[in-house]
């Protein structure tokens, strides 16, 4: 069901910091057993599914029509639906598996989306989520510099600015996430923190150098200005990036990101 060599594949399609983070998420999900029918909740441009899966998955949904057009080009979805996560036009118990990769934190009102996922899952169906923790905005160079200078108010302002820039509405401790899931009718089967301070700060630094890629995506609908650059960039990054940046290594309570496996109450 799953591909491998995720980093080498991802770096061909996306900037370095995104490839590093998504590689960890591909590793986490590929260790699970996903049963069809599968829903990708917030599929975006479909690159994640393209890299993760060998075969097609059943349905992808996203409110952004331009992103869905990109997802269609991947050929990884049997069906794509333009809709929001709290109103998905599918019957109750339509899916055995739902996964949502780095999506929930960007939704201002998360509870209706969790309720909708619960409705769509069959009894004992699985929901797989990757999310930021309360440490994610703190594992940045700006925050760490202000912390070293003991500038408390600027630290708070920086966190607010950071989360506003990335449209992060939710970044909680494990316990806080668990409480949200319980309210929506899920039990937590498994959780794994990832995104060490070192890796998150590396990605934060590299994000600055990836701004040209962001502009290319806005203007040209792709991450690279010239296709010829993509292969050269991928080979260079595959050689330069330390191998441990492509693995999952965290101490409990210290991850900037967290992966959950949830089960719908029967």
CATH number of the domain at 107, please: 3.40.50.150
Burial class, 23, CB count within 10 angstroms (exposed 0-12 / middle 13-18 / buried 19+): buried
pLDDT(146) > 70? yes
Cis peptide before 263 (omega within 30 of 0): no
Band the pLDDT of 264: cuts 50, 70, 90.
very high
Residue 163 domain-assigned (yes or no): yes
Mean pLDDT, to the nearest integer, of 74-81? Answer: 98
pLDDT of residue 217: 62
Contacts 24+ apart (CB under 8 A), 89-94: 90/39, 90/59, 90/120, 92/119, 92/120, 93/119, 93/120, 93/121, 93/122, 93/123, 93/125, 94/37, 94/39, 94/120, 94/122
In-domain check, residue 71: yes
pLDDT digit string (tens) for 199-225?
999 899 888 776 666 655 665 566 565
Predicted pLDDT at 190: 96
Residue 54 domain-assigned?
yes
Mean pLDDT of 24-51: 97
Whether residue 228 is predicted with pLDDT greater than 80 in this model: the reply is: no
Query: What pLDDT does residue 123 have?
Result: 97
Using a pLDDT cut of 70, give the percent of the chain over it. 84
The answer to whether residue 1 sits within a structural domain is no
Residue at token pair 């920086």:
158
Write the CA distances from 210 to 18, 218, 243, integer angstroms. 9, 13, 20
Q: Please tell me the predicted confidence (pLDDT) of residue 220.
A: 58
246 — pLDDT class (breaks 50, 70, 90): low
Residue 206 lies in a domain: yes
Say how far apart CA 58 and CA 38 lie, in whole Å.
5
- The two three-digit tokens of residue 145, written as one number: 């510099």
pLDDT band at 100 (very low <50, low <70, confident <90, very high): very high
pLDDT of residue 44: 95
Q: Please indicate, yes or no, if residue 112 is contained in any of the structural domains.
A: yes
105 part of a folded domain: yes
Confidence check: pLDDT of 30 > 80: yes
pLDDT at 250: 73
Residue 211 pLDDT: 62
What pLDDT does 176 receive? 98
- Looking at the whole model, is its pTM more than 0.85? yes
pLDDT at 5: 87
Range of the domain at 245: 6-264
Residue 127 pLDDT level (bands cut at 50, 70, 90): very high
Domain count, the chain: 1
State mean pLDDT over 167-175: 97
């Amino acid at each position: 069901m799953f591909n491998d060599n995720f980093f080498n594949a991802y770096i061909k399609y996306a900037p370095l910091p995104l490839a590093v983070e998504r590689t960890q998420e591909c590793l986490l999900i590929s260790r699970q057993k996903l049963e069809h029918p599968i829903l990708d909740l917030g599929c975006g441009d479909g690159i994640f599914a393209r890299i993760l899966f060998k075969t097609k998955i059943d349905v992808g949904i996203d409110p952004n029509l331009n992103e869905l057009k990109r997802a269609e080009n991947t050929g990884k979805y049997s069906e794509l639906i333009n809709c929001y996560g709290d109103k998905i036009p599918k019957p109750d118990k339509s899916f055995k598996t739902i996964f949502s990769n780095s999506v929930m934190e960007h939704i201002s009102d998360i509870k209706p989306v969790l309720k909708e996922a619960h409705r769509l899952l069959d009894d004992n169906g699985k929901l797989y989520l990757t999310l930021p923790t309360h440490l994610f905005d703190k594992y940045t160079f700006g925050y760490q510099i202000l912390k070293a200078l003991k500038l408390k108010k600027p630290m708070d302002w920086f966190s607010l600015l950071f989360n506003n820039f990335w449209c992060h509405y939710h970044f909680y401790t494990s316990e806080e996430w668990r409480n949200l899931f319980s309210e929506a009718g899920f039990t937590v089967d498994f959780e794994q923190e990832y995104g060490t301070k070192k890796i998150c700060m590396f990605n934060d630094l590299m994000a600055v150098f990836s701004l040209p890629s962001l502009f290319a995506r806005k203007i040209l609908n792709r991450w690279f200005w010239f296709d010829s650059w993509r292969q050269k960039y991928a080979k260079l990054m595959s050689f330069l990036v330390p191998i441990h940046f492509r693995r999952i290594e965290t101490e409990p309570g210290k991850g900037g990101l967290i992966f959950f496996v949830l089960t719908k109450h029967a």
